[in-house]
Amino acid sequence: MYILNIDRTYRNIKRYRQIIGVFISYGFGGIIEQLNIDYYLALGRNIITLNRGGRKQLIRYSNAQRFRMALEELGPSFIKLGQLISTRHDFIPPAVIDELKKLQDDVPPFAYEEVVTVIESSMDVGIHEVFPEFTVEPVAAASIAQVHKARLVSGEQVAVKVQRPGIAATIETDIDIMMNLASLMGRHVQELQIYDPVGMVKEFAKTIRKELDFQIEGRHVDRFAANFKDDPNVFITSIHWAVSTREVLTMDWVEGIKIDNVDVLIKAGLDPKIIAENGATLILRQVLEFGIFHGDPHPGNLLVLPGNIIAPLDFGIVGHLDEELKQLVLDLVMAIISRDIRQLTSILSTVGVIDEDRINMRELQADLYDFVDRYYGIPLHQLEVATLIKDFIAITSHHHIRFLPDMMLLVKTLVTIEGVGRNLNPEFDMISHASPFVKELLAKRMSPKYLSKIAWRQLQELQNLLKMLPRETQEILKKLSKGKLKIEFEHVGLDPLGKNLDRITNRLSFSLIVSATIIASSLIMLTNTGYMFMGYPVLGIIGYLAAGGLGFWLAIAILRSGRM
């Protein structure tokens, strides 16, 4: 029986049996049985037999609690997977999310001798040739790496992040096993299919592999440093690339106070209210201005320096929002404020993934009306981002709307930073603080520079289409004449497709009309005939004005639709 697609080494098979055994011992034997892994079930039955006393003790725990306990026992890879799952408010039950938020990847540090081995093998040089001083005990230790304080030959104090020996191989083995189990779950356990086990593991693999490459994290640091170089309220450390590799990351040492140590901050003469505002501004600029944001701004990753300056640490996890996604998020906010439910529904269908077979659009719109009415008229300072987002995600989750991973990471980031702000200042108002940023973005969208950029992009797309059409048409005719043209057609709901095609066709036709009007007006201007106004043909002037008005109307229509 072909069960595994991983290397059949003793180590991998032993790990596979360990994973299955742990899940069975925590009461998930029924799911394991459905996977049809006959060989490993023999081991599982023995575990169940040997641990009946333990199973009785587990009865008092919920499924979510037992799942969290199983992940903790399985180690770093599964703890990281659980932490990732805890960000997916869009389709994971709240009880499971609340439990998985308790997962911590704090582990005992590895030995100093192993630290030396990793550094010397990675840099191909003796540790004291690079770091004349290097602390034996780490200042922090986690599942993937630990951090030591050191001094460079130049005398600079640095923090050295060293990857845990063998962790990359362990995680790759676990990813292979996770992928096989997820694939079997997707095929055999119907109640788990809605959670997309394979998709979750793929997302986890992509994220964790980036975390394992410290050079990627170093580039993130450089990018954030460039973005905030002129911000006096933010300090970003510097990377020492000459002594950094995939397994070792060396950066300037930052001495500060953890942002949640309010009493210590006050004793140091710092202002918690200003710190809360600076922290919120830090995240809002990342999201709305730069489109790249810190994905894990918990208090342990935020230090405060003299002058109420924020110094974020650990850039292993970051999220990205491209220009289109930023505009869609803004449209989402504006649709909620204006109580435009149709626009809100349209944006959700663009931002999220909707299961057309399971969603009831009328019920979705009714729930969105209730959501908007619930918060309508409440003063901004009385609203909490966490509660607002929780209620909104509850609606989208109920209607099986899923979002991109970066969108859910953004949700986690905003909720976390609001919690940090309210811990510093109980009266902190995240929504009011964000208002100027939203207004600035709205003003930017209506600026001539931005509109001309959109118009130019549309003209370029039109130009590319006109260039491509003759060649593609010729190819189709060739295949048709040779009898090689094949068309595969599958009906999965043609109404949305028809509407999209109509919209695309109308915009293209409209763009052609505007272009033709501009060309015709230009020719009229060159003839210098007919009625004249200030030395220019009136008909040409009218043509330019008409083309400008129609073009501006088209740009507004595109912006309002949320699809650029």
DSSP H/E element including 140: strand 140-141
Q: Single out the residue of 69, 24, 66 nearest to residue 43, CA to CA.
A: 24
DSSP H/E element including 252: strand 248-252
Beta-carbon count within 10 A of 197 CB? 20
CA 161, CA 167: separation in Å to the nearest integer?
14
> Token digits for 112?
């100093």
With vertex at residue 509, the alpha carbon angle to CA 502 and CA 514, rounded to the nearest 5 degrees, is 145
Q: Which is it for strands 318-320 and 248-252: parallel, antiparallel or unpaired? A: unpaired
> Token digits for 106?
């704090």
Name residue, tokens 């394979």. Answer: 198
3-state secondary structure 72-94: HHHCHHHHHHHHHHCCCCCCCCH
In the set 296, 314, 331, 406, the catalytic residue is: 296
Active-site residue, 296 included: yes
**How far is residue 348 from each of residues 33, 127, 362, measured CA to CA in Å?**
38, 53, 14
Q: Single out the residue of 179, 156, 165 nearest to residue 81, CA to CA.
A: 179
Contacts of 521 (CB under 8 A, 6+ apart): 539, 540, 541, 542, 543, 544, 547
**How far is residue 161 from each of residues 83, 108, 316, measured CA to CA in Å?**
21, 15, 11
Q: Single out the residue of 314, 286, 289, 285 nearest to residue 299, CA to CA.
A: 314
Query: Which positions are catalytic?
Result: 296
